[in-house]
Amino acid sequence: MASLETADVFRQFGPSYLEAFGHGMLPSHRRAMADIVACRTAAMGGHMFRCNGCGQHFYVYHGCRNRSCPACHTAQTRQWLQARSEEILPCPYYHLTVTVPRGLRAAFRSNQRDCYSLFMKAATQAVLALCADVRYLGGLPAILSVLHTWTAEMHYHPHVHLLVSGGGVTPDGASWREANHPFLIPVRALSRLVRGTFMALLKRARPDLAAAIAPSAWNHEWVAWCKPWGKGETAVLEYLARYVHRIAITNRRILAMDGTTVTFRYKDRKANTTCDCTVDGHEFIRRFLQHVLPKGFHKVRYAGLWHSSRRQQRQQLRALMLVQQAQATPSEKPPEEPPMAPSPPSGQDGTPPTSHPPCPHCGCPGTTHLRMVYRSPSPCPARASP
């Protein structure tokens, strides 16, 4: 049996879902559904190949490139990681998370663009403020933040992941200060500072929304968490690959589908076990779509030494730290970049792809590119060879 994909769920339950709830759907949700259904089908266009072994012809269609699509992240992740690998400071890093309390999630769901943006800004400002305190770091660190909105079961759970360097530049810019490992900043102070900063930002940007939130909602603690993540480029790239391009559910987690339900696998982290969850087809689509971000929203943001305005300072600092480390450990080999899975053929600009896929019929690696296949007016019911 062929593996199931999110696109298969949308093809089966999407028409009835649109009929029942389409009048209230956001344009970004409609676009995500349409893109995922069309991804790697004749609707997107692609390339025609011939196998040099068995002589069979086969097609490789383009991806939709929608950031919510479970099948369109390998090549994007590789390119993004390559760019970030040239910016990462060779020092220890910390992984922090901050979670929105349950009492505020309804306001976040109804005002995603404003609330998500202010939340990420509040988390970053809180980390920068605490790191500036001489009791903890006393310097300006490099920060990368990533917004996630889901749990393993695809329930609504907005939280932000932050990758923070375990060191920073002193206010005078003259020296580098290391954190007191394995301690960076106190999580209780971070929780309360994020809450206060977000409240102030919301009152300034959206006084109407701040007034509509019940006062009791601000009494709940914002769950914050911090742990050392690792030292060196390899550990940081592992973090980036794991979190930056993650989506609510991957295709390999979908186990079964019938006329009414969808079954998928998830990990119960508290019990440290793998479980199966069966939901109605419409419920699966609802859970998936609530994590589609507003159009143009930046889910990955940079601050501190990682901000674009400090690019020159960061590059100089990185070069100096690499020289100092090389002098201290001359025999140590540089860290290797973790291997990435091969990406499908490119050529979405109309040029022939630079790499040819193996034949899906006989597995022969020798194939010949024949021609470009232009977009079809209607989606193909099944995907072409990956």
Between CA 175 and CA 58 the distance in angstroms is 59
| Confidence (pTM) | 0.85
3-state secondary structure of 267: strand
253-278, pLDDT tens digit by residue?
999 999 999 999 999 988 889 999 99
| Whole-number pLDDT of residue 230 | 79
Alpha-carbon gap, residue 176 to 148, rounded angstroms: 31
Phi, psi of 326 (to 5 degrees): -65, -35
Q: How far is CA 151 from CA 286, 297, 316, in A?
A: 14, 20, 39
pLDDT at position 353: 64
Per-residue confidence (pLDDT) for residue 33, from 0 to 100: 96
- The answer to whether the Cα torsion of 200, 292, 64, 83 is positive or negative is positive
pLDDT of residue 309: 93
What was the pLDDT predicted at 334? 52
User: Which stretches of the chain drop beneath a pLDDT of 50?
Assistant: 1, 337-345, 379-382, 384-386
- Residues listed for the chain: 386
The bridge status of strand 176-178 relative to strand 224-231 is: unpaired
Closest CA to 373 of 355, 354, 350: 350
Answer left, alpha or beta for residue 306, where phi above 0 means left and psi between -120 and 50 means alpha.
alpha
Q: Which residues pair with 47 in a beta bridge?
A: 60, 372
Please tell me the predicted confidence (pLDDT) of residue 379: 47
Tokens for 274, please give them.
């793998």
Which pLDDT does position 378 carry in this prediction? 52
